[in-house]
Amino acid sequence: MKLVIKDGIVIDGEGFNERADILIENGKIKGIDKRISLNDAISIDAKGKHVFPGFIDMHTHLRQPGFEEKETIKTGTHAAVAGGYTTVACMPNTNPVIDNEIVVEYIKSIAEKEGYCKVIPIGAMTKGMLGEEISEMAKLKDVGIVALSDDGFPIMNSGLMKRIMTYGNMYDLLMITHCEDKMLSGEGVMNNGIISTKIGLRGIPHEAEEVMLARNIILAKSTGAKLHVAHVSTRDSVELIRRAKADGVDITAEATPNNLCLTEDMVDGFDTNTKAYPPLRTKEDVDALIEGLKDGTIDVIATDHAPHTKDDKKVPYEIAAFGISGIEIAFSVVYTYLVKNGLIAIDDLVKHMSIVPSKLLKLTHGFKIGNDADMTIVDLGKEYTVDVDNFKSKGKNSPFNGQKLYGMVEYTIVNGEIKFKNDGNYQLSNV
Amino acid sequence: MIRKDVLGIREMTKEDLLEILDTAGEMKKILVGNKDSDILRGKTVVTIFFEPSTRTRLSFEMAAKYLGAHFGNIEAKTSSVVKGESLIDTVRTIEKMKADVIVVRHNMSGAPHLMAKYLDASVINAGDGLNEHPTQALLDLMTIREKKGLFDGLKVVIVGDIVHSRVARSNIWGLQKLGAEVRLVGPATLLPKTFEKLGAKVYYDIDKAVDGVDVVMGLRIQLERQKSGLFPSKDEFSKYFGITEERMRLAKKDAILMHPGPINRNVELTSKAANATYSVIEEQVTNGVAVRMALLKILCERRKSNEISY
């Protein structure tokens, strides 16, 4: 089957930004040229629209196996393609945990059968994510694992963390770390600051992130491990990463649309959809994250898509689940808040959401002849109102609900197949 | 006060506060008189407390009964909610028994706000987590007004475990709205500097904080805070942050001493100070019934005349 994407503005995130046609054949990119005319090809008219290499999310919670009431591989990847993503890396905090080959193979097989996009499981650093014994990293590597994380269960034991880095580094595994000193965050449920003081919610101080980040930087330096910092949220974390990079530490970092665009002020009123880890921080933190994105300190925009049921959130703030469902609006959020406001260029957004994560996950990706035809077509001019009831994700927990955003995903193509097509009413449907 | 619920002092205006205090003054006449009124006849008030309380719960019960309302009480344990019984389901059940006003205390900040969102009945917050305790602040304001008349220029110091105190937060909002100056004093682990951003003055030396004030307000210190390492010992706390007769002499001559109760005698304040003539602690309790009568009256009248904005 041949497919031609006609006359879109093609931005590859690596310097190419021109009107062009893209020819897809047998699931691969066959040509990118000013004008491609073929009689035997199906064509998509992308005039006035933008064509990007598919987004790649380094930080998704698909919840299956174990928490299928929150999300499944099917619904989560459906949400992903609705957001323009063609690959998601799913976090290991499932039940059972992704700490052995069987769970890895299970997820891959379900993704193969039911998934809408490519799924790359992330392995656990410790067995059961219990922070006690290191996982069987070599076996995980053999079934295709490229990155490890204990995500929401940071390794408090520094000796253990050093052993994880030392051992994992033999297999060139990326160490994705959720930086949080649990003793400092204590019973906190939101950012520690003026709003927490006003409304009487216990605060998570910014130091909780920075203390753990500083430790991990020191350990990465001494072990030579490849450290990737998940969801950076504070000003001083950005500075720590900036200095570590200057110091030659092998470190990369991601920030979420939530932390790049929203502040703690939204928590005033106790909307549990604003509850996430890391918590929404202050304007100064947001500004520092954007600055970090601009100067290369922050490498990746990752969603930390964390779907929960309505009941998980329909409780007092203190006991509501941490997490925001966001993969299907992530691009629009960042485009609206950052690109439309002139803070970063659209080319850079594509780089942070597609090209850089593909490299960290060792994927062959992007608009090169012969690569898998993974791409998304977006109408940047189209405005829509976020309605969580239209989410493909089971998680309706979004603080962006009701907001007007720009940049609507029109098509998502995975291996040359149209996996998502917007029918014009944000009633996203499978093709 | 046009809202359906009383969730906090923070969202009230100065006019709201004065309306409530004026009404409470009228209610006090009933309270110290024959305690027989039919203002709330045909109305139903239900209290549901997810945290132990004797005085606040009883105070609401008395307030409802003195005004002729039907009254019910539910014993609730937080644990059953945590175990999966939905808070919203629980209170909607009460509402379906035709409650007009539901009075709630909850150990989690914002729980009454969540309930209010899902109920047509009016919700009165009788204390939520660390957030607010609006009826306590109102009775404190009423007591201060009775003793001092005007709030403008008045200096009030709140002493002790500020960060964990919903009483402190509600008083900070209320006193400032009415024009008083609020000082806060306590150990730094229980009083972060951030409170300055709420407009209060933060002190770590009680003698300086009490100097020249009109009102000294003690707070109950929860002794388990010591176990979590927030202060070293009961003894050190009372020595450096306790309210004593000597320290009361640093305040204005006619200063009053308040405390929301129950008191840990000789911890946050000495027995002598608590029993002294400047102590208005018992009058606060009586005024507590009056302000609760006032809120019930105002809310039920608004419900009747459909002046409520949901």
Average of per-residue pLDDT across A72-85: 98
The pLDDT assigned to B307 comes to 52
Contact A319/B82, CB-based, under 8 Å? Answer: yes
What angle is formed at CA A241 by the lines to CA A238 and CA A244, rounded to 5 degrees? 150
The pLDDT assigned to A259 comes to 98
CB A46, CB A29: distance < 8 Å: no
Average of per-residue pLDDT across B61-72: 97
Contact A318/B10, CB-based, under 8 Å? Answer: no
The pLDDT assigned to B304 comes to 73
- AA identity, residue A4: V
Three-state SS letters, chain A: CEEEEEEEEEECCCCCEEEEEEEEECCEEEEEECCCCCCCCEEEECCCCEEEECEEEEEECCCCCCCCCCCCHHHHHHHHHHCCEEEEEECCCCCCCCCCHHHHHHHHHHHHHHCCCEEEECECCEHHHCCCCECCHHHHHHCCCCEEECCCCCCCCHHHHHHHHHHHHCCCCEEEECCCCHHHHCCCCEECCHHHHHHCCCEECHHHHHHHHHHHHHHHHHHCCEEEECCCCCHHHHHHHHHHHHCCCCEEEEECHHHHHCCHHHHCCCCHHHCCCCCCCCHHHHHHHHHHHHHCCCCEECCCECCCCHHHHCCCHHHCCCCECCCCCHHHHHHHHHHCCCCCCHHHHHHHHHHHHHHHCCCCCCCCCCCECCEEEEEEEEEEECCHHHCCCCCCCCCCCCCEEEEEEEEEEECCEEEEECCCCCCCECC
Q: How confident is the model at residue A305 (pLDDT cuts 50, 70, 90)?
A: very high
Better-predicted residue by pLDDT, A2 or A428: A2
Kindly state the tokens that stand for A204: 């998570």
Residue B308 has pLDDT above 80, yes or no: no
Q: How confident is the model at residue B310 (pLDDT cuts 50, 70, 90)?
A: very low
CB-defined contacts A:B, below 8 A: 60
Residue B225 has pLDDT above 90, yes or no: no
Q: How far is B282 from chain A (nearest CA, A)?
A: 28
For residue A144, CA distances in Å to A172, A390, B29, B78 come to 12, 34, 79, 46
SS3 (DSSP) at B174: helix
Q: What is the pLDDT of residues A347-400, one digit of tens each?
A: 999 999 999 999 999 999 999 999 999 999 999 999 999 999 999 999 999 999
Whole-angstrom Cα distance, residue B48 to residue B61?
11
The pLDDT assigned to B178 comes to 98
- Packing angle, helices B166-177 and B14-32, rounded to 10: 110
Q: What is the pLDDT of residues B229-250, one digit of tens each?
A: 899 999 999 999 999 999 999 9
Average of per-residue pLDDT across A280-292: 98
Q: How far is A200 from chain B (nearest CA, A)?
A: 4
Whole-angstrom Cα distance, residue A219 to residue A79?
36
Residues 6+ apart with CB under 8 A from B189: B229, B230, B231
Mutate to test the interface with A, among B3, B114, B165, B197 (most CBs of A within 10 A): B114
- Packing angle, helices A235-246 and A206-223, rounded to 10: 10
Residues of B in contact with A268 (CB under 8 A): none
Chain-centroid distance of CA B1 in Å reads: 18
Provide the percentage of residues in chain A whose pLDDT is more than 70. Answer: 98
Provide the percentage of residues in chain B whose pLDDT is more than 70. Answer: 95
In the DSSP assignment, the letter for residue B107 is: S
| pTM, two decimal places | 0.93
Q: How far is B228 from chain A (nearest CA, A)?
A: 11
- Closest by CA to A419, choosing from A410, A56, B85, is A410
**Closest Cβ opposite residue A270 in set B10, B114, B130:** B114
The pLDDT assigned to B82 comes to 52
- Give me the interface pTM, i.e. the ipTM: 0.91
Whole-angstrom Cα distance, residue B56 to residue B76?
15
Provide the mean pLDDT of chain A.
96
Residues of A in contact with B195 (CB under 8 A): 197
Whole-angstrom Cα distance, residue B213 to residue A196?
28
The pLDDT assigned to A37 comes to 85
The pLDDT assigned to B2 comes to 56
Whole-angstrom Cα distance, residue A169 to residue A147?
11
Whole-angstrom Cα distance, residue A176 to residue A229?
6
Residues of A in contact with B111 (CB under 8 A): 316
Q: Residue B128's closest chain A neighbor by CA? A: A200
Whole-angstrom Cα distance, residue B260 to residue B150?
21
The pLDDT assigned to B78 comes to 56
Mutate to test the interface with A, among B80, B194, B224 (most CBs of A within 10 A): B194
Average of per-residue pLDDT across B253-263: 96
Q: Residue A319's closest chain B neighbor by CA? A: B82
Q: What is the pLDDT of residues B115-163, one digit of tens each?
A: 999 999 999 999 999 999 999 999 999 999 999 999 999 999 999 999 9
The pLDDT assigned to B164 comes to 96
Q: How far is B249 from chain A (nearest CA, A)?
A: 31
Residue B290 has pLDDT above 80, yes or no: yes
Residue B174 has pLDDT above 90, yes or no: yes
Contact A202/B130, CB-based, under 8 Å? Answer: yes
Whole-angstrom Cα distance, residue A201 to residue A189?
7
Residue A268 has pLDDT above 70, yes or no: yes
**Closest Cβ opposite residue A319 in set B108, B113, B169:** B108
Average of per-residue pLDDT across A304-328: 97
Average of per-residue pLDDT across A301-330: 97
Contact B86/A314, CB-based, under 8 Å? Answer: yes
Q: How far is B246 from chain A (nearest CA, A)?
A: 32
Whole-angstrom Cα distance, residue A353 to residue A14?
12
Locate the DSSP E strands across B92-190.
101-106, 122-128, 155-159, 181-185
- Closest by CA to A143, choosing from A177, A98, A174, A111, is A98
**Closest Cβ opposite residue A197 in set B81, B132, B195:** B195
Instruction: Say yes or no: A265 contacts chain B, CB-CB below 8 A.
Output: no
Active site residues of A: 304
Average of per-residue pLDDT across A165-181: 98
Residues of B in contact with A202 (CB under 8 A): 130
Residue B97 has pLDDT above 60, yes or no: yes
Least confident range from A129-133, A149-153, A337-341, B87-91: namely B87-91
- Packing angle, helices A158-169 and A206-223, rounded to 10: 40
Q: How confident is the model at residue A431 (pLDDT cuts 50, 70, 90)?
A: very low
Instruction: Say yes or no: A317 contacts chain B, CB-CB below 8 A.
Output: yes
Residue A424 has pLDDT above 90, yes or no: no
Kindly state the tokens that stand for A32: 């990118």
Instruction: Say yes or no: A193 contacts chain B, CB-CB below 8 A.
Output: yes
